[in-house]
Structure 1
Amino acid sequence: MAQWELKGIAASEGLAIGRAVVMHEEAGPQGIAFIEVGQEEAELKRFAAAVARAADELELLRSRMASDGREQEAEIFEAHLMLLEDEELIGQAQESVRTERYTAESAMSDAAEKVATLLASLDDAYLKERAADIRDVSRRVLRALRGGSGAETAGIASGQNGAEKSILVAHDLTPSDTAQLDPASVAGFVTAIGGRTSHSAIIARSVGIPAIVGAGTALDEVKDGQLVIVDGKAGVVLVEPTDSELAQFSELQVEQAARRERLKAFLGLPTVSADGHRAELVANIGSVQDAQQARQQGAEGIGLFRTEFLYMGRPDLPTEEEQFAAYRAVAEVFGGEAPIVIRTMDIGGDKQLPSLQLEQEDNPFLGYRAIRISLDRPDLFKTQLRAILRASAYGNLKVMFPMIATLDEWRRAKGQLETCKQELAAEGVAYNERIEAGIMIEIPAAALLADRFALEVDFFSIGTNDLVQYTMAADRMNPKLGYLSDPLHPAVLRLIEMVIRAAHREKKWVGMCGEMAGQPVALPILLGMGLDEFSMSASAVLPARELISTLNRGQLADLADKVLELEDANAVREYVEQHVQVLRERE
């Protein structure tokens, strides 16, 4: 056995073997320091110069990424440039210098930590991981205040072990750090904190570097120079492996490389089962750069555009023009007839917006959120709907309303959409008059009334993350309730089957945008039930397309019926793995 084994979150698939290079965090300001009375303007000028220097560095990094064809990384640093103009971040720091007489370093550190802490406290994984971007930008400004530059961290790009590849070990890696990694010398990385949706994880996937995040404090025991194996699929780190483990993982590396080459053959192909049934594989995104990554990884469109990122981390609300530009940009990434499903804002409860001044709630998951806010604030709702409609002139956009529980909510939302259409027509503004409008099925009440909704909506998209949570009365963020938070539970599967059947009776299509849509063990069930669209993380698209190409949809209808009669999720999982040969072969 290896000297010891660590577990973390699988952030970027692949196997990496190399010598550990331990990175130590840069120390930030300790406590709050103050300037003398009368030094405020001089300190603000020093701060402005540091921000300008940080902006120059980011622009250089963005340009280099763009010229190298690394558009996704370029978009991330473009977003970092925007943070240097953010009122909640830079404006708050300036205010602290001006009114509290903080030093520029203290003001920057304090403002960044407040915004980052707010984002990190949210339930939404995508928004939670934006905290790392805030801290990255802050660290760059602090370095500029000390007279350093972004180049100080560039040494990590080439490792420190000569010809031997390195495994970087760190408390965290910023997007800036990760974008500068050279896969020719850095085999992989492991961090103590972080999640799958962090920009560092996204960049690692885009450049093909195996990575594990969230490995915890046990990572502190890893020393420079120790031999390390990173299994980016299983989320396992082996420190000082045995000769037999080293040989085993070396062989697996060869097999995985062959599989990656095999998957490339599915790029640009339609998703077709072994018996000729056509399905649609699309991606879940939260930004333009996510859309670019999704297209590069073979997605046929977007099944869920989470628009919350436009609202978060700012003191004001996004304008119609800002939203229009974002929606149009995503449409233009895919172009033509590729479907782009835009979900109206899903905010409220635990996702606090200073500009909305939402009241604190005892049970935010069952509270004032999503469509409930939109219908209560037509000014806010119409701004977003007008932007979506205007962008629909540039692609095959569809609008989707979240957290719909009643027919009245759907009708009121659709009524607002029609009002916005009439306004734009009167103004002579172009939009797609036949834009499809649908709802997310994530509340059991909506699933049970699917036959009624199907008479009126254009489509359904099943949000299994919340559907499981509400069906099982189990907070999906509570680790003690993990045994209940399983989309394969027959109670959940029965609701899904009910929704698909109701939609197809009315010749409406059904998608799924929850994490279940990309799980290999769930794909045979969903295909057998007749799900039309599978929306998942970009990295899951090609493996899912390959798997579906081996499955016979006609034969899976019986399997889908059988699992509905089983008594729990474990029984369902075992039944599918026993009866679907390709899954047995992958074990």
Structure 2
Amino acid sequence: MREIAGSPRILLKRLRELMAEAVEPQERLDRIVREIAANMVAEVCSLYVLRADAVLELYATEGLNPGSVHLAQLRLGQGLVGTIAASARPLNLSDARNHPAFTYLPETGEEIYNSFLGVPVLRAGRTLGVLVVQNKTNRQYGDDEAEALETTAMVIAEMIATGDLRRLTRPGMELDLSRPVSLTGAGFNEGVGLGHVVLHEPRIVVTELFNEDVDLELKRLETALGSLRLSIDDMLSRREVAFEGEHRAVLEAYRMFAHDRGWVRRLEEAIRNGLTAEAAVEKVQSDMRARMLHMTDPYLRERMNDFDDLAYRLLRQLMGRGPEEIAASLPKDAIIVARSMGAAELLDYPRGKLRGLVLEEGAVTSHVVIVGKAMGIPVVGQAKGAVSMAENGDALIVDGDDGKVHLRPQSDVEAAYAEKVRFRAKKQQLYRELRDRPSVSKDGIAVELMMNAGLAVDLPQLAEAGAAGIGLFRSELQFMVAATFPRAQEQEKLYREVIEAAGPKPVTFRTIDIGGDKVLPYFRGAEKEENPALGWRAIRLTLDRPGLLRTQFRALLKAAAGRELRVMLPMVTEIGEITKARGLIEREVRQLARFGYALPTSLKLGAMIEVPSLLFQLPELMRAVDFVSIGSNDLFQFMTATDRGNGLLAGRFDPLSVPFLRVLKSVLDAGRDAGKSVTLCGELASRPISAMALVGLGFRAISMSPAAIGPVKAMLADLPVGELEGLMIQLLKESAVDMDVPARLRAFADEFDISCET
């Protein structure tokens, strides 16, 4: 078919030739606006580029005063151009001068032009500038002309993104794409990481923008769409995808969007206008994201993420890219940036190259956050806009202490954080020097500092941190990162690795603590609960599904052959639950012995004190178990009726309060009277000031995150336990009204020059 002069295809053909020529960026821009003006029979074509200071600067023009280039400026939201940039929506006006947003710039000479068509220059939904055509006559531009201008704007967006225009910037007038951005989210795991952005689902760089054969590109799109639809159907048909629930609903939405005729039609139109299939996907998705970003309906905004994911999958189909390529090209200081991701996906990245994780979504109890903590990397969540603002390779600082993310930081910010990292590194070196020293107080009281773990990636930290053993092995993490229930052989293999890594040091395995906020997408049978923390979880769930517990007991018994096995039951509410669990494990012991399997030399069964009802059964509890461990996180949550995931209540109640400390002391006293050991695991043990309080109460074994062992051991080395015990006895006797226990403890630390820094 013969091409008509002035068609979008003719324009794109000329632009392709211009992009291939070796010319200076300003000359290329000048020729581009001339070509657009000639193609669209416009008397004016102008390009405005958004700077880092939120000012739109005129970068090129055909028809306006050439002396106004790089001088004419409009603030974001000012004038017609500023309105387009702020709204990310085109404007098509036949009488522009009478529009309420019109702003007169005398240096340009544009007052004689009436008709106006302006489109945003978009990349990944982010506005980088505005492209405008104007005529003296009052006319309405057609849809085909608007489409041609939008397509041209996409080409210019790639020029901006690849850095071609940065050579035209003046000092202090950097482009918006290079602007430093600071985001405030929520700190999900402490620490500071300096590195470079790795987008978990990176925007694939489309290098071939213009097509040579429309029919071929339409065929490629059709083939890729077919493969995409098949892959979604395949995911829906897998056994591990639940037949009901949110996980399946998302995939069903994907399938619906993949068959959406409106979306496909816009892709086909972009190809017919001269783009390749890949460029068409990028253009249509960028337009859609820019429009949906300004919607207030939360449902529609959530659908935007679904379309983003779908477009990314389609681009991968078109370009034949696999996720394995991402890990292979990872920088040595990678900070993963994602909207959300699964726990198993984070484990795909090599730990040695990770410096942090930034999520736009997520919660402190998200599976991926739990894995991030296990890997010991700083994690910030709820960092809205991080994905669209970031580009692969951008410098990034993630501050898990304060919940801050600094993208493309200024040199002084980077220097300040680098100093902070160096300071932390020096302290970590001091803590490493304490690693092989006994954890003994200043006056000779030994305290076992154990570590919490849950995955194979945790095991090297046992030696690195100098832990006395593993006081809490969260066995459910293996279930949370798997696509299906781990088989008995897989569980046994992990438990054996843990025991072998510990050597002579003790390991306490907690049975599967799933349910509540730890939802397994492949586990069917749990109804949606209004209060999941108080619902069908932990020992309640596994006693109702004894096959799960028996399989785990069997794997643990076989893995611990020839060693002592310590097993702990979570969320125990009444003694009868311990009796039932003991019956199940003794049944597995008899079964294994019958078939000649080697068994542990001894079996210790313990319980976690997390439910307040156990506090009123302490004598009976001590007779039913071999040891107890206080789960301070849940016990405090239930004692104070406080949802620990609720940001409105964070910090409202203090676990270092007299009532809670009295509860902890009552458990210690009951254990001492019964001759049973009492440990504590949870956040309370991970901070030097609260660990000091625990030692003063009488705890001689506490379990914490590996990173906390060094600071707590340093505190212990300065601590006169005898003096502290006297203070704690006095505090517990005093009135709880207006008692500031942390302040009294800090004053004690200051008096005896005790290090309580993390």
Which of 672, 696, 719 is the equivalent residue of 1:528? 696
Give the equivalent residue in structure 2 for 1:175. Answer: 346
Secondary structure at 2:602's aligned position in 1? coil
CA distance in 2: counterparts of 1:158 and 1:320, whole angstroms: 36
Mark the CA change 1:313 to 1:90 in structure 2 (over 3 Å): closer, same or farther. farther
Q: Say whether 1:389 aligns with 2:557.
A: yes
Cα distance per residue 1:500-531 (max 9 Å; x no partner): 11112222211112221112221111111221
Secondary structure at 2:240's aligned position in 1? helix
Q: Say whether 1:332 aligns with 2:500.
A: yes
Q: Say whether 1:347 aligns with 2:347.
A: no
Secondary structure at 1:475's aligned position in 2? coil
CA distance in 1: counterparts of 2:713 and 2:443, whole angstroms: 14
Give the equivalent residue in structure 2 for 1:129. Answer: none
- Stretches of structure 1 lacking an aligned partner (at least 5 in a row): 29-34, 52-82, 105-134, 160-165
Secondary structure at 1:148's aligned position in 2? coil
Amino acid in structure 2 at the alignment position of 1:147: G
CA distance in 2: counterparts of 1:300 and 1:361, whole angstroms: 39
Offset at 1:242? 8.9
Q: Say whether 1:213 aligns with 2:380.
A: yes
CA distance in 2: counterparts of 1:361 and 1:157, whole angstroms: 42
| Count of aligned positions | 495
> What's the TM-score once normalised by structure 1's chain length?
0.69
Please say which of residues 291-300 and 455-464 is displaced more in the overlay. 291-300
After the TM superposition, which residues 397-408 of structure 1 pair with which residues of structure 2 at under 5 Å, given as runs?
397-408=565-576
CA distance in 2: counterparts of 1:242 and 1:152, whole angstroms: 28
Judge conservation of contact 2:200–2:336 (CA < 8 Å) in 1: no
Please say which of residues 308-317 and 281-290 is displaced more in the overlay. 308-317
Judge conservation of contact 1:468–1:485 (CA < 8 Å) in 2: no
Which of 716, 739, 747 is the equivalent residue of 1:578? 747
Offset at 1:27? 5.6
Q: Say whether 1:259 aligns with 2:427.
A: yes
Cα distance per residue 1:42-78 (max 9 Å; x no partner): 9699969xx9xxxxxxxxxxxxxxxxxxxxxxxxxxx
After the TM superposition, which residues 139-178 of structure 1 pair with which residues of structure 2 at under 5 Å, given as runs?
143=316, 146-149=319-322, 150-152=324-326, 157=331, 175=346
Mark the CA change 1:486 to 1:46 in structure 2 (over 3 Å): closer, same or farther. same
CA distance in 1: counterparts of 2:543 and 2:369, whole angstroms: 36
Give the equivalent residue in structure 1 for 2:659. Answer: 491
CA distance in 2: counterparts of 1:497 and 1:226, whole angstroms: 51
Higher relative contact order (CA 8 A, sep 6+): 1
Offset at 1:10? 5.6
Mark the CA change 1:10 to 1:409 in structure 2 (over 3 Å): closer, same or farther. closer
Give the equivalent residue in structure 2 for 1:371. Answer: 539
Give the equivalent residue in structure 1 for 2:673. Answer: 505
Give the equivalent residue in structure 2 for 1:31. Answer: none
Please say which of residues 344-353 and 426-435 is displaced more in the overlay. 344-353
Give the equivalent residue in structure 1 for 2:476. Answer: 308
Judge conservation of contact 1:486–1:569 (CA < 8 Å) in 2: no
Give the equivalent residue in structure 2 for 1:273. Answer: 441
Amino acid in structure 2 at the alignment position of 1:338: K
> What's the TM-score once normalised by structure 2's chain length?
0.55
Which of 193, 199, 202 is the equivalent residue of 1:26? 202
Offset at 1:265? 0.8
Give the equivalent residue in structure 2 for 1:11. Answer: 189
Offset at 1:367? 2.6
Offset at 1:492? 1.9
Offset at 1:21? 5.8
Give me the identity figure in percent.
32
Offset at 1:268? 3.3
Offset at 1:552? 2.0
Please say which of residues 230-239 and 339-348 is displaced more in the overlay. 230-239
Offset at 1:240? 8.8
After the TM superposition, which residues 283-294 of structure 1 pair with which residues of structure 2 at under 5 Å, given as runs?
283-294=451-462
Cα RMSD (Å) of the superposition? 4.8
Give the equivalent residue in structure 2 for 1:80. Answer: none
Mark the CA change 1:325 to 1:221 in structure 2 (over 3 Å): closer, same or farther. closer
Judge conservation of contact 1:228–1:237 (CA < 8 Å) in 2: yes
Secondary structure at 2:561's aligned position in 1? helix
Give the equivalent residue in structure 2 for 1:462. Answer: 630
Secondary structure at 1:580's aligned position in 2? helix
Amino acid in structure 2 at the alignment position of 1:88: E
Mark the CA change 1:339 to 1:141 in structure 2 (over 3 Å): closer, same or farther. farther
Mark the CA change 1:250 to 1:268 in structure 2 (over 3 Å): closer, same or farther. same
Judge conservation of contact 2:715–2:755 (CA < 8 Å) in 1: no
Judge conservation of contact 1:195–1:201 (CA < 8 Å) in 2: no
Offset at 1:442? 0.4
Cα distance per residue 1:395-423 (max 9 Å; x no partner): 44301111212222222322332232222
Mark the CA change 1:14 to 1:103 in structure 2 (over 3 Å): closer, same or farther. closer
After the TM superposition, which residues 401-416 of structure 1 pair with which residues of structure 2 at under 5 Å, given as runs?
401-416=569-584
Judge conservation of contact 1:288–1:326 (CA < 8 Å) in 2: yes
Give the equivalent residue in structure 1 for 2:296. Answer: none
CA distance in 2: counterparts of 1:307 and 1:158, whole angstroms: 30
Mark the CA change 1:396 to 1:544 in structure 2 (over 3 Å): closer, same or farther. farther
Amino acid in structure 2 at the alignment position of 1:417: I
Mark the CA change 1:447 to 1:218 in structure 2 (over 3 Å): closer, same or farther. same
Give the equivalent residue in structure 1 for 2:171. Answer: none
Secondary structure at 1:303's aligned position in 2? strand
Give the equivalent residue in structure 1 for 2:593. Answer: 425
Judge conservation of contact 2:554–2:588 (CA < 8 Å) in 1: yes
- Point out the structure with max Rg over C-alpha: 2
CA distance in 1: counterparts of 2:367 and 2:516, whole angstroms: 22
Mark the CA change 1:250 to 1:330 in structure 2 (over 3 Å): closer, same or farther. closer
CA distance in 1: counterparts of 2:735 and 2:741, whole angstroms: 6
Judge conservation of contact 1:516–1:522 (CA < 8 Å) in 2: yes
CA distance in 2: counterparts of 1:277 and 1:409, whole angstroms: 36
Cα distance per residue 1:557-585 (max 9 Å; x no partner): 12322343353797122221121225677
Offset at 1:243? 8.8
Offset at 1:446? 1.0
- Stretches of structure 2 lacking an aligned partner (at least 5 in a row): 1-179, 205-218, 260-307
Mark the CA change 1:253 to 1:348 in structure 2 (over 3 Å): closer, same or farther. closer
Mark the CA change 1:139 to 1:412 in structure 2 (over 3 Å): closer, same or farther. farther
Cα distance per residue 1:531-555 (max 9 Å; x no partner): 1321122222222222222212222
CA distance in 1: counterparts of 2:692 and 2:410, whole angstroms: 38
Cα distance per residue 1:291-340 (max 9 Å; x no partner): 334443332322122222344476864443332222222111212x3111
CA distance in 1: counterparts of 2:396 and 2:483, whole angstroms: 44
Secondary structure at 1:275's aligned position in 2? coil
Offset at 1:471? 0.8
Give the equivalent residue in structure 2 for 1:548. Answer: 716
CA distance in 1: counterparts of 2:494 and 2:353, whole angstroms: 31
Give the equivalent residue in structure 2 for 1:88. Answer: 240
Secondary structure at 1:26's aligned position in 2? coil
Judge conservation of contact 1:178–1:203 (CA < 8 Å) in 2: no
CA distance in 2: counterparts of 1:339 and 1:397, whole angstroms: 9
Amino acid in structure 2 at the alignment position of 1:432: P
CA distance in 2: counterparts of 1:429 and 1:542, whole angstroms: 40
Offset at 1:5? 7.2
